[in-house]
Chain A
């Protein structure tokens, strides 16, 4: 992703970043409709304020920052005040045990486990392992220091490993801390 200012640029942004951004928002919000709305809003905001991006800087973390902030705004202001049944439906569809292939059940478990995390931990996990941002890029995206990102990632992985929905998933358990130390 790069460039800014022309119609082609926004099309490049969308072509390269919409799907990832949308699914990132889905994983953060756990709801397709909210994610779609958030990403649309985020892209329009980013396009409107595209001149605020410093020349020569990378668009990707900046765009993710806009997306994350929009998701946070929705989680803070809109979603808590409305019926969550739509979101639960999405999760039910993903996580219904025995209703589909094993990887679908695992996906549902993962999304459920992600939703159990605090938002700030969920965001760093999704940005790191789905959007494939480096820790430094995540730091730029969430406006924190790389050390904070690292500790949040550690904490999120630890909590995910303890989550009951993911304990049944094979091959997820990594080495213990003592093993890592060794």
Chain B
């Protein structure tokens, strides 16, 4: 295969080009046309590209911006919507007068006890006289005997009243092959030892155990302040398969009942004054009738108040005992300070990696979109520049 020599080709092309005469005045026409036009700025980018470092800096800046945006969208590390996140407009310190913690749990999700905060400190963001919704938490905890959070002192409630919190809980214990009676005895001992009592007891006999009970339900009434310690002791009896705790702040309802009772009693006193001054039989009967109505209302409200008192004085813990549960694995020893620190560091590292993996998908997607846009933009830009120049 041959190729044309460069020298003769150059000469021949020059001769061929010389055969095209230049039109007279063409240069002047262009100069005249050019002198009337101002340069267009900003329409065409620099044709000579920036240096590689400039491009690399631009790409790095774009990546940082994308990663930052994705991070902001995703939230901070360690926060996941899958974990019953404690959220609320504000969480004032417990114990500060007038400050009540607000705790909400997304419906359908469970919140571990460890994240629940103080057991028995009810959630309430309502103002004076407003009953609050209770905070409910439930945690399936198979094979775990970790201790729950100890209760913090009850916060002082609204209008100078101590917070009235009604707490109920339920715990399922699997006893494995251990007999039921010793567990029942121990539960009774725990309840009475804490100043409470066994409100209800029901034991069932299973088909495989003959006359020996294989499952049962005990309802313990224990003082509010001792609820957490009782819960801890109860959990040590067997393997916890599920646990639920509900705390309801009834301070508003309590104050409302008290105020209504006070008002009715004031009315009752006035009616008594009127009664003492009545002279006719008709007046006496009429006033007496009103007094009876008021007295009835007072007693009704007082009954509700007493019920609230009882509910807030004693917490209810329902214990479900079962022999059919599997035998739990031996409890792991509580790690020492160094061991705990090591476990925490491993956990933190794992959380960080999880976070990276979680945002990597979105980041890659965004980068892919940007790459496609960049390629398309570059293609369009080159086409436009070819058109313009």
Residue of A5, A52, A94, A104 touching B47 (CB-CB under 8 A): A52
B382 touching A110 by the CB < 8 A rule?
A: no
Q: Are A111 and B16 in contact (CB under 8 A)?
A: yes
List of B residues within 8 angstroms of A130 by Cβ? 10, 13-14, 17
Does B93 sit at the interface, judged by CB under 8 A? no
The CA of A121 and the CA of B35, in the complex, are separated in Å by: 35
B44 and A160 within 8 A (CB)? no
Looking at the assembled complex, report how far the CB atom of A125 sits from the nearest CB atom of chain B, in whole angstroms.
8
By size class, the interface of chain B is: 35 or more
With A36-B26, A43-B34 as given contacts, are A173 and B14 in contact (CB-CB < 8 Å)? no
A74 to chain B, nearest CB (A): 12
B47 touches A62 (CB 8 A): yes
Residue B389 interfacial (CB < 8 Å): yes
Chain A residues, Cβ within 8 Å of B14: 130
Q: What is the chain B residue whose CB lies nearest that of A94?
A: B19
**Contact with B5, one of A27, A126, A173 (Cβ below 8 angstroms):** A173
Question: Residue B3 contacts which of A10, A73, A126, A174 (CB distance < 8 angstroms)?
Answer: A174
Q: Interface readout for B3-43 with A: 1 if CB under 8 Å, 0 if not?
A: 11110111011111111111100110111011101011101
At the interface, yes or no: A1 with Cβ under 8 Å from chain B? no
Q: Does B208 make an interface contact (CB < 8 A)?
A: no
Assuming the contacts A35-B20, A176-B2, asked whether A106 and B47 have C-beta atoms less than 8 A apart, the reply is: no
Cα-based distance from A23 to B17 in the complex (angstroms): 6
- In the complex the two chains form, is A47's CB within 8 Å of B34's CB? yes
Cα distance A50–B6 in the bound complex, in angstroms? 34
Residue of B nearest to A46 (CB): B389
Mostly, the A contact residues are: helix
CB-CB under 8 A from B1, the residues of chain A are 158, 176-177
CB distance from B18 to the nearest CB of A (A): 8
Question: In the complex the two chains form, is A161's CB within 8 Å of B4's CB?
Answer: yes
CB < 8 Å: which of A27, A174, A176 contacts B16? Answer: A27
CA of A111 to CA of B44, assembled, Å:
34
Chain B 345-389 residues near chain A, CB threshold 8 A: 382, 385-389
Chain A residues, CB < 8 A from B27 = 14-15, 18
B389: chain A residues at CB < 8 Å are 42, 45-46, 49, 65-66, 69-70
Say whether B185 faces chain A, with CB atoms less than 8 Å apart.
Answer: no
* Chain B positions within 8 Å of A32 at CB level: 20-21, 23
| B200, CB-defined interface residue at 8 Å | no
Which A residues are in CB contact (< 8 Å) with B2? Answer: 158, 161, 173-177
Question: Does A154 sit within 8 A of B, measured CB to CB?
Answer: yes
Q: B33 and A65: CB pair below 8 A? A: no
A75 at the interface (CB under 8 A from B): no
With most chain B CB atoms within 10 A of its CB, the pick from A15, A47, A108, A125 is A47
Among A40, A129, A140, contact of B30 (Cβ-Cβ < 8 Å): A40
With an 8 A cutoff between CB atoms, is B48 at the interface? yes
Considering only CB atoms, which chain B residue lies closest to A31 in the complex?
A: B20
- Chain A residues 19-67 with CB under 8 Å of chain B are 19, 22-24, 26-27, 32, 35-36, 39-40, 42-54, 57, 62, 65-66
Residues of chain B lying within 8 A (CB to CB) of residue A143: 382
Given contacts A161-B3, A176-B2, contact A10 B16 (CB under 8 A): no
Q: Do A22 and B20 contact each other (CB < 8 Å), given the known contacts A44-B37, A52-B44, A73-B387?
A: yes
In the complex, how many angstroms separate the beta carbon of A27 from the nearest chain B beta carbon? Answer: 6
Any chain A CB within 8 A of the CB of B46?
Answer: yes
Assuming A26-B17, A36-B26, is B4 touching A53 (CB within 8 A)? no
| A152–B223 alpha-carbon span in the complex (Å) | 94
A110 & B16 in contact (Cβ 8 Å cutoff): yes
- For the complex formed, measure the closest distance between the CB of B198 and the CB atoms of chain A, giving whole angstroms: 89
The answer to whether the Cβ of B45 comes within 8 Å of any Cβ in the partner chain is yes
B40 touches A160 (CB 8 A): no
Residue of A nearest to B3 (CB): A157
* Contacting residue for A73 out of B4, B8, B22, B386, CB 8 A: B386
Taken together as a complex, chains A and B put the C-alpha atoms of A146 and B70 apart, in Å, by 40
State the CA gap A103–B6 with chains docked (Å).
Answer: 17
Complex Cα distance, B34 from A43, in Å, reads 8
Find the A residue at minimum CB distance from B387: A73
Identity of the chain B residue whose Cβ is nearest the Cβ of A130 in the assembled complex: B13
Report chain A residues within 8 Å CB of B30. Answer: 10, 14, 18, 40, 43-44
In contact, B4 and A10 (Cβ under 8 angstroms): no
With A40-B26, A110-B12, A172-B8 as given contacts, are A51 and B41 in contact (CB-CB < 8 Å)?
yes
Q: List 16 A-B contacts (CB under 8 A).
A: A7-B31, A22-B20, A22-B22, A32-B21, A40-B29, A46-B389, A52-B43, A52-B45, A62-B47, A94-B19, A110-B12, A125-B9, A161-B4, A169-B12, A174-B5, A175-B3
Q: 6 closest Cβ contacts across the A-B interface?
A: A174-B5, A107-B16, A52-B44, A54-B48, A23-B17, A26-B20
Q: Residues of B with Cβ closer than 8 Å to A?
A: 1-6, 8-10, 12-23, 26-27, 29-31, 33-35, 37, 39-41, 43-48, 382, 385-389
